[in-house]
Amino acid sequence: MKYFAILLLLTVSGLTQAQTTRKTENIFIITLDGFRWQELFSGADSALIQNKTYTHDSLEMRSLFWMDSPEERRKKLMPFFWKTLASEGQLYGNRNFNNNVNCSNTMWFSYPGYSEILCGFADDERISSNNKIDNPNITVLEFLNKNQRYKGKVAAFASWDVIPYVVNEKRSGVFVNGGYELATGKNLSEREIFLNELQPKIPGHWGSVRQDAFTHYYALEYLKKHQPKVMYISYGETDDFAHDGRYDQYLKSAYRTDQFIQELWQWAQSQPAYKNKTTFLITTDHGRGTVPIETWKNHGDEVPGADQIWFAVIGPDTPPLGEQKVAGQLYQNQVAKTAAAFLGVEYTNETKVGEAIGTASRVKLPVVK
């Protein structure tokens, strides 16, 4: 049946010669918790970087991240985004051009945001807290893990210890390492053994969120060993430093995460299993406030603007359109279907999911069920 379908597809594509073939075989979904579009598109905020309460050493922060123009500032803060992603990929959500990306859930905090990203729809009835409750909804990770092509090839690494519940690790069978979990399994690499020694000995900043460097390097080791085709990496520090009122640390964390994503990208481009066949989709679970000034620390439905997010994509099927400067509206619920579509899979769920972002791919996505 499958072969017949492929034959048919080949015949059809043979007839329509101009059709481009899809190159993506692997998908990485990457999130930075509560990282604002304001910093992504304009870099460090002049009011916050000079505020002694939020920025302990303004001189240091200015030397690291300040430039007069927003275009230069954002390059200092997120060099990989603004050198590589902006020239080879696409960035959505700069509201200065009325290019909007929003949550469709009305909660504007983490669990509802991650659930919307991964499931493709908001569920305000059932997903209304950050409690450790197994997600009653199926995520695109679970959906793909049921597909023979991807079974056992789906993994998630997260700094926040609630992500295993969002993914519903138990039911989904997706491999998840979240919070302060160590690397487990046979044949641990030397690096995993060292990370396992180090993680419990580093003073944890927060009870439920580990430092992103651990999440990142555990994920990288897993990639090397298991070569998953669908990888979700959830960085968490940006949100926690913001809640702590540490704008300086929030910026430094954003910079480090940019470097982590660059490392993942460069690593992928050095591996035969991933090179020129891997697409990265990068986004955030929610925004934060701007006015009055102290609302930058927070989010939730009482903070105006906390539903404003952004979305970025890079990969072999993505036209290099860079920063989107035309008016438009995307929603968080479109990420899941877009991710699956890059793999040629039509993602559906019991609830209607957001449409795939058509401009993200140059391929008229041939859907293989």
- Give dist(CA 43, CA 71) in Å, integer: 8
- Give dist(CA 80, CA 264) in Å, integer: 11
* Residue 80 or 109 having the CB closest to Zn ion: 109
DSSP type of residue 147: S
* Residue 153 or 297 having the CB closest to Zn ion: 297
Least spacing, CB of residue 74 vs Zn ion, in Å: 22
Least spacing, CB of residue 114 vs Zn ion, in Å: 12
Burial of 339 (0-12, 13-18, 19+ CB in 10 A): buried
> Which range binds Zn ion by CB under 5 A, 188-196, 239-247, 323-331, 360-368?
239-247
When asked if residue 239 is in the footprint of Zn ion (CB under 5 A), the reply is yes
Least spacing, CB of residue 329 vs Zn ion, in Å: 24
Report how many residues bind Zn ion under the rule CB under 5 A.
Answer: 1
Least spacing, CB of residue 177 vs Zn ion, in Å: 21
Q: What are phi and psi of 48, to 5 degrees?
A: -75, -30
Q: What are phi and psi of 233, to 5 degrees?
A: -120, 125
Contacting residues for 39 by C-beta, under 8 A, at least 6 apart: 45, 74, 77, 251, 254
- The separation between the first and the last C-alpha atoms of the chain, rounded to the nearest angstrom, is 11
* Residue 26 or 238 having the CB closest to Zn ion: 238
Least spacing, CB of residue 238 vs Zn ion, in Å: 9
* Residue 39 or 239 having the CB closest to Zn ion: 239
> Which range binds Zn ion by CB under 5 A, 98-106, 231-239, 271-279, 302-310?
231-239
* Residue 164 or 289 having the CB closest to Zn ion: 289
* Residue 142 or 239 having the CB closest to Zn ion: 239
Region 274-293 residues binding Zn ion, contact defined as CB under 5 A: none
- Give dist(CA 207, CA 216) in Å, integer: 18
Residues in contact with Zn ion, shown as a per-residue x/- string from 182 to 221 under the rule CB under 5 A? ----------------------------------------
93 close to 309: Cβ distance less than 8 angstroms: yes
**Residue 61's closest CA among 251, 254, 313?**
251
Least spacing, CB of residue 113 vs Zn ion, in Å: 9
> Which range binds Zn ion by CB under 5 A, 154-162, 224-232, 235-243, 330-338?
235-243
* Residue 239 or 323 having the CB closest to Zn ion: 239
When asked if residue 237 is in the footprint of Zn ion (CB under 5 A), the reply is no
Tell me which residue has tokens 């049946």.
Answer: 1
Least spacing, CB of residue 165 vs Zn ion, in Å: 16
> Which range binds Zn ion by CB under 5 A, 5-13, 53-61, 238-246, 336-344?
238-246
- Give dist(CA 72, CA 12) in Å, integer: 47
Region 321-360 residues binding Zn ion, contact defined as CB under 5 A: none
The full 3-state SS of 3-31, as one line of letters, equals HHHHHHHHHHHHHCCCCCCCCCCEEEEEE
* Residue 163 or 183 having the CB closest to Zn ion: 163
Residue at shortest CB range from Zn ion: 239
* Residue 209 or 340 having the CB closest to Zn ion: 209
* Residue 305 or 316 having the CB closest to Zn ion: 305
Which tokens sit at 91? 């960035």
> Which range binds Zn ion by CB under 5 A, 89-97, 234-242, 275-283, 302-310?
234-242
Burial of 57 (0-12, 13-18, 19+ CB in 10 A): exposed
> Which range binds Zn ion by CB under 5 A, 7-15, 60-68, 160-168, 236-244?
236-244
- Give dist(CA 220, CA 213) in Å, integer: 10
**Residue 164's closest CA among 141, 147, 196?**
141
- Give dist(CA 227, CA 317) in Å, integer: 20
Which tokens sit at 10? 């080949």
- The contact set with Zn ion (CB under 5 A) reads 239
